[in-house]
Amino acid sequence: MTRNFLTTSDWTRDELEGLLDAALRFKRGEDTSQPLAGRSVALVFFNPSLRTRASMQVGVYELGGNAVVLEPGGTSWTLEHREGVVMDGDKTEHVAEFVRVLGRYCAAVGVRTFAALKNWEEERRDPVLNAFAKYSEVPIVNLESAMHHPCQASADMMTIREKLGEGKKRVLLTWAWHPKPLPMAVPNSFALAAAQMGHELTIAHPPGYELDDALVSEINERAFDAGAKVTVTNDVEEAFDGAQVVYAKSWGSRLFYGNPAEDVEERAPYRKQWIVDEEKMRRTDSGVFMHCLPVRRNCIVTDGVIDSPASVVIDQAENRLHVQKAVLAKLIGGKS
Ligand code: CP
């Protein structure tokens, strides 16, 4: 059976720990093997990217392989993913053919497909990513879908371990004000991975910005299995007390999904309060500041925090490279 990397929960905690070990070996230069020599990897981008695209292309190259970058609707045909539709509209090719053809050339397919932020019940099921996984005969790597960003979350876990050492840490995931609603993939995957790794997780957000109910249940189950607990709070000040990691991210409300203007109005009162600033960071236990990037300065986080020694965002972005090399080496190269 093809092994994919769609969410971190596809993999056991031991496998994730092994992934971080392998990523650290790549980072330290202890592993210079090229398990992709003579192989190609397709990277399919429906949406813009800096970190994911650059780090995947560089990572494939450093593993000895060749990256084939495709942008449906731009450098490749427009793609349909729904089942049984009469394709008489603006979509030229179906994922069913697209991904199987790519599989004849490439050893794996990475795909970035953001939430359209239109239909919550549909998008929470990750339809495009799952269509890729359904039809592919080679491993699929999720490069950020509607609901998950496992490569980011794995780099985040690597960064926490690198900066603070092994073992349980007090980790805060805090919503932050942003001028428009954003997808939930990053907070979903960060919370899930933090729970899998046994960190004490606090999730802070204003009322109405709850994460998906089924996902929150899974996060609680994973935390329980790992001997940790999850706290959810609407108190943006107390949430920072004693945190060793502060992870900021904005996301849209399910209550206004498909209605961005209403979400923008709803969040307006949170603008001054829901920002990571120096005062809140003083409440932490010498906490490090994390964000997946790109970040809007002085909306999500003040210049004073992101430019301080507490900020690890550039190392976090670097770790995308190492952790994705470990994912590819495992999926294609058969390395543990
Ligand atoms: N964090 C992240 O995925 O960055 P990009 O959107 O630039 O790839």
pLDDT digits (tens, 9 = 90+) for 76-92: 999 999 999 999 999 99
Tens digits of residue pLDDT in 2-61: 599 999 999 999 999 999 999 999 999 999 999 999 999 999 999 999 999 999 999 999
Helix and strand totals (H; E) in the chain: 12, 11
Q: Which atom of ligand 1 is nearest to the CA of 55?
A: 8
Tell me 76's DSSP state.
B
User: How confident is the model over 130-175, as pLDDT tens digits?
Assistant: 999 999 999 999 999 999 999 999 999 999 999 999 999 999 999 9
Burial label for 262, CB within 10 Å (0-12, 13-18, 19+), is middle
C-alpha 31/C-alpha 306 separation (Å) is 32
Check if the beta carbon of residue 283 is closer than 8 Å to that of residue 241. Answer: yes
Mean pLDDT over 195-215 rounds to 98
- Report which protein residue has its CA nearest ligand 1's atom 4: 51
Measured from the CA of 48, which atom of ligand 1 is nearest? 6
Is-above-0.95 flag for pTM?
yes
HEC string for 274-315: CCECHHHHCCCCCCEEECCCCCCECCCECHHHHCCCCECHHH
Q: Residue 336 has what pLDDT?
A: 61
Place of tokens 């209605």: 259
Q: Which helix (H) or strand (E) holds 151?
A: helix 150-164
How high is the pLDDT of residue 334?
77
- Tell me, in angstroms, the distance from the centre of ligand 1 to residue 86's CA: 34
Q: Which domains does the chain have, with CATH numbers?
A: 8-148+320-331 (3.40.50.1370), 152-316 (3.40.50.1370)
pLDDT-derived band of residue 247, with 50, 70 and 90 as boundaries? very high
The residue whose two tokens read 């190269």 is 333
Q: Which residue has the tokens 């299995």?
A: 225
Q: How many residues does the chain have?
A: 336
Ligand 1 pocket: which of 50, 55, 154 to mutate (most atoms <8 Å of CB)?
A: 50
- Kindly tell me the sign of the dihedral angle through the C-alpha atoms of 289, 295, 299, 303: positive
Burial bucket for residue 151 (CB in 10 Å: 0-12, 13-18, 19+): buried
Q: What's the confidence (pLDDT) of residue 241? A: 98
| CA 56 from centroid of its chain's CA atoms | 14
Residue identifier of the C-alpha nearest atom 6 of ligand 1? 49
> Which pair of tokens denotes residue 311?
């900020």
Residue 223 tokens read as: 């935390």
| Greatest Cα-to-Cα distance within the chain, rounded to the nearest angstrom | 58
